[in-house]
Structure 1
Amino acid sequence: MDIASLWGDRVKAFWNEAIRYLRLLGNSGFMFSLYALFLVGGSFYPSFIDWLPEAVPVSFLFAVLFTYLLTRCPLRTFLKEGDLVFLLPLENQLKGYFHKSVMYSFIMQSFSMTIVYLVLGPLFKNRVADDGLYLYVVLLFLLLINLWNYVSIWAEARIQEDAGRQKHAAARAVLNFAAAYLLFQHAALWFPLAVLLLMLFVYLFYYYPLLRRHLLKWEVLLKLEEKRLSVFYRFVQSFTDVPNIKGGIKRRKWLTVLTDRWLWRNTSVYRVLFGKGFIRYGEYLGMYVRLLLAGGLVMYAFPNDWFRVAAALLFLYMTSVQLRTLWHHLDTAMWPDLYPVSLQQKQTSFQEMVKILLLFQTVLLTIVYSLVASSLMPGLIVLGTGGLFCWFYPVLKKDKEMIQAR
């Protein structure tokens, strides 16, 4: 094994596979929906800025958004399960490998964060500071803060307990918010610079000694890597089969208590399995909530009622595409196939679950529309069209082929 070329080989292998999946996405109806959303959003962006009330705390919202982006720090190491056996003895020779991984993660996160920042640039210049130079000064500060977060999270990866890493993330979030808030409040530059110096002090006198005192936790790095891969492949699985997809389990006891009575109401074993899978497995619930919130925000931002209707139906369709992967949730488990239950019952339970989730989202989007719009008729169209879509979508030809293929 050539240690010097190992990192490059891993990255090349991942992107060769990822590009094949991205080509499928580029030819899909889902991507067309995103293109349409971006085009419509770009057309109404200036109108949205003029319409946005002065009372809206834009600087505070900017600070919250970039605090989240800076704190999350997705870390890619391209590790595999077998590395815990075969590469662990070579840890001392892999410093270059891990340094490249941290730098790669930092660059990718900086790229995505820069895109978000530049998209919000017109709003920044309208509400924060009408100064082109200051716009790029803030971006430079954000990238420096992002670098601090990545070198810090690399030290946090030496902590085995999830609770310990979460406490460190919360502490980083406080510093990130302080710096971001000062930047977006257009404070004198020495104030965010002071926070940046404090971050440097924290790294030199806390995080750097943490690197020296604790051994690298390979299990933690593998867990983080699998989490990042599962997010990407679960999204791709909406359009094509992805082998060996993995995801974490979150108990979410508070939500389980609310839904167990309905899930266990009859003898449908697959209703329970699909329901538990949606609530507890991976990112199904998170995806559902994020699309619901994004749909509500887009409807709030569009000044035209009919574009609000189009946005509601578009986000409903995007949710339905993502929920399609719920059918494959049980593919990696053998024991459900041992149940004396027909495939027809599995199909019925799957369709019922998707219908209920889409109908619930339709009702919530209709409520959002009623709060932000001035006309009643488009809201009724959202409710009626969304209801028909919820009822007929799970039995479209594409879904029948997917179901019958099993």
Structure 2
Amino acid sequence: MLFRDRMRRSWTKALRLIGVIASGGGTPLLVGITIIAFSFGYNQLLAWLPNDFPLAPVLAVILGLFLTRHRIRTWITPTDLVFLLPLEPQMGGYFRASLLYTGAIQLFNLSVLGVILYPLYHAKLGTAGPYAVTLLLLACAHTLNLLLEWQSLRLTVSGRWRRLHTLKGLRGVLNFLLSYAALESVWWLAILALAVLGAWYRYWTHAVPRAPYPWRRLSQLEQETVARYYAIANWFVDVPQYKRPLRERKWLIRLVNPWINREAVYPYLFWRTLARRSDLLTIHVRLLAWVLLLAFCWPHPAVITLLTFLGNWMFIVQLQSVGDAVHYPIFFKLMPRPASERVQAIRQISFLLMALFTGFTALVSFLAGWLGGTELVLFLVINGAGALMLNRRKK
């Protein structure tokens, strides 16, 4: 079966890549620090949680977002638009297998999320029995949301249907309402919200055309999914087949342009490339969020200092690809400028971004009370020296 073969090849590549990542010296340390800090912070959160804290709405938002957002794995490639299009009437089994696979993976993720959130639920809302019923209702809602997402993809063959159905706001509201009612044990309201989702699915079943399938959209979503996985793996190991997607981001280009000297060729080129890369800036933001989250879980000055250094190091490793000639046209290699200017431009960009990373972390840590006056000075000195060291290492 075609779907089974593609799934097996994908998992073989993924497991091989995971093995390479796990064998790296820094990965076990990073994972260990994250798990320890998360466990410590989770226990602190349970101890701190006040009696009047609106826990049910907060958990309902988390669960509602999880139920609403779906990414269906089809392993459709651009060449399938040519070779599989003639077999479109026989592709029903392929896509049913895709939905079964995606549903199984996402139900497993829901189970993991449920296990993580159970201590919070048990501390303020209820016991294991009602929570099991809540997870059962959420699993049913999750399945309906997956089918509705698939219908919305099928309806993208018509622009009118796409504009109507891609408004996920109503579905998000229903998922929030269902999650909140289930967490508060208001079973009739949870079942009513589930019934509305079921009726919605039943209605759209008759509206979805039997053909054609949205081949281009499915291929695009699959490429985005693979790119996201490669982006995560590229944090730890070099992934040559990973091609970073580009975005126009005109607003960001307008924001950056006044600060760029257009006569300085390499800084101008690298800053614009950095602004248009769809993952490099998001990596910077996600690393910052990761550091602040772990700092909240374990607000010790030494831990915050170490996490900031690790965050800067991980980002600088990724930033070096901005200067790779493979991402530019051939004239980049023929540019009549010395290579030292290219190295210097990358160093200036990396040092500025590390300074922003360190400064924002220091500001949040100081305002939150995690760092005192003396500790703040030591934090800035140590991470400033670390930034200089990391910058000097790069050639």
List gaps (5 residues or longer) in structure 1. 401-406
Question: How many angstroms does 1:55 deviate by?
Answer: 5.6
In the other structure, the counterpart of 1:174 is 173
In the other structure, the counterpart of 1:404 is none
Is 1:49 the counterpart of 2:85? The answer is no
In the other structure, the counterpart of 1:344 is 340
1:188 maps to a residue whose letter is: V
Alignment size in residue pairs = 389
List gaps (5 residues or longer) in structure 2. none
Question: How many angstroms does 1:117 deviate by?
Answer: 2.8
User: Separation in 2 of the partners of 1:94 and 1:58?
Assistant: 45
User: Separation in 2 of the partners of 1:317 and 1:140?
Assistant: 43
- Which portions of structure 1, spanning 4 or more consecutive aligned residues, are displaced by more than 6 angstroms? none
Name the stretch that deviates more: 22-31 or 248-257. Answer: 248-257
User: Contact 1:320–1:354 (CA<8 Å) still a contact in 2?
Assistant: yes
In the other structure, the counterpart of 1:76 is 73
Among residues 194, 198, 202, which one is paired with 1:200 in the alignment?
198
Identity %: 25
Tell me the secondary structure at the aligned position of residue 331 of structure 1: helix
1:133 maps to a residue whose letter is: G
Name the stretch that deviates more: 318-327 or 227-236. Answer: 318-327
User: Separation in 2 of the partners of 1:68 and 1:288?
Assistant: 23
> Cα 1:138–1:295, aligned 2, differ >3 Å: closer, same or farther?
farther
1:126 maps to a residue whose letter is: A
Alignment of structure 1 residues 321-360 onto 2, 5 Å: 321-328=317-324, 331-335=326-330, 336-360=332-356
Name the stretch that deviates more: 289-298 or 355-364. Answer: 289-298
Question: How many angstroms does 1:91 deviate by?
Answer: 1.1
> Cα 1:340–1:79, aligned 2, differ >3 Å: closer, same or farther?
farther
Alignment of structure 1 residues 275-354 onto 2, 5 Å: 275-328=271-324, 331-335=326-330, 336-354=332-350
Tell me the secondary structure at the aligned position of residue 168 of structure 2: helix
Q: Deviations over 1:73-114 (max 9, x none)?
A: 112111112111111111111111111112212222222232
> Cα 1:388–1:165, aligned 2, differ >3 Å: closer, same or farther?
farther
Q: Deviations over 1:10-65 (max 9, x none)?
A: 11111111112111211221342122120232134322311244565332222222
User: Contact 2:34–2:294 (CA<8 Å) still a contact in 1?
Assistant: no
In the other structure, the counterpart of 1:36 is 33
In the other structure, the counterpart of 2:267 is 271
Name the stretch that deviates more: 243-252 or 41-50. Answer: 243-252
> Cα 1:102–1:367, aligned 2, differ >3 Å: closer, same or farther?
same
User: Separation in 1 of the partners of 2:273 and 2:135?
Assistant: 40
User: Contact 2:44–2:297 (CA<8 Å) still a contact in 1?
Assistant: no
User: Contact 1:71–1:149 (CA<8 Å) still a contact in 2?
Assistant: yes
In the other structure, the counterpart of 2:59 is 62
User: Contact 2:362–2:379 (CA<8 Å) still a contact in 1?
Assistant: yes
User: Contact 2:291–2:304 (CA<8 Å) still a contact in 1?
Assistant: no
User: Separation in 2 of the partners of 1:258 and 1:376?
Assistant: 34
Q: Deviations over 1:121-175 (max 9, x none)?
A: 2122213x23012222222222222211211111111215597388333332222
Is 1:220 the counterpart of 2:220? The answer is no
Question: How many angstroms does 1:224 deviate by?
Answer: 0.3
User: Separation in 1 of the partners of 2:361 and 2:108?
Assistant: 32
> Cα 1:266–1:254, aligned 2, differ >3 Å: closer, same or farther?
closer
Q: TM-score, normalised by structure 1?
A: 0.86
Question: How many angstroms does 1:259 deviate by?
Answer: 1.5
> Cα 1:187–1:292, aligned 2, differ >3 Å: closer, same or farther?
same
Q: TM-score, normalised by structure 2?
A: 0.89
Q: Deviations over 1:245-294 (max 9, x none)?
A: 234333333322221222x3243333333323333222222232223223
User: Contact 2:305–2:383 (CA<8 Å) still a contact in 1?
Assistant: no
Q: Deviations over 1:334-387 (max 9, x none)?
A: 343343344433332223222222221111111110121263333333322222
Among residues 171, 186, 189, which one is paired with 1:188 in the alignment?
186
Among residues 116, 130, 135, which one is paired with 1:134 in the alignment?
130
> Cα 1:53–1:287, aligned 2, differ >3 Å: closer, same or farther?
farther
Is 1:392 the counterpart of 2:373? The answer is no
Alignment of structure 1 residues 66-145 onto 2, 5 Å: 66-127=63-124, 129-145=125-141
User: Separation in 1 of the partners of 2:58 and 2:146?
Assistant: 23
Is 1:380 the counterpart of 2:373? The answer is no
User: Contact 1:362–1:383 (CA<8 Å) still a contact in 2?
Assistant: yes
Name the stretch that deviates more: 62-71 or 244-253. Answer: 244-253
Tell me the secondary structure at the aligned position of residue 267 of structure 1: coil
User: Separation in 1 of the partners of 2:254 and 2:344?
Assistant: 24
Name the stretch that deviates more: 312-321 or 364-373. Answer: 312-321
> Cα 1:387–1:303, aligned 2, differ >3 Å: closer, same or farther?
closer
Q: Deviations over 1:166-214 (max 9, x none)?
A: 8333332222222223233x14111111101000011111x21232266
In the other structure, the counterpart of 1:248 is 245
Question: How many angstroms does 1:217 deviate by?
Answer: 0.9
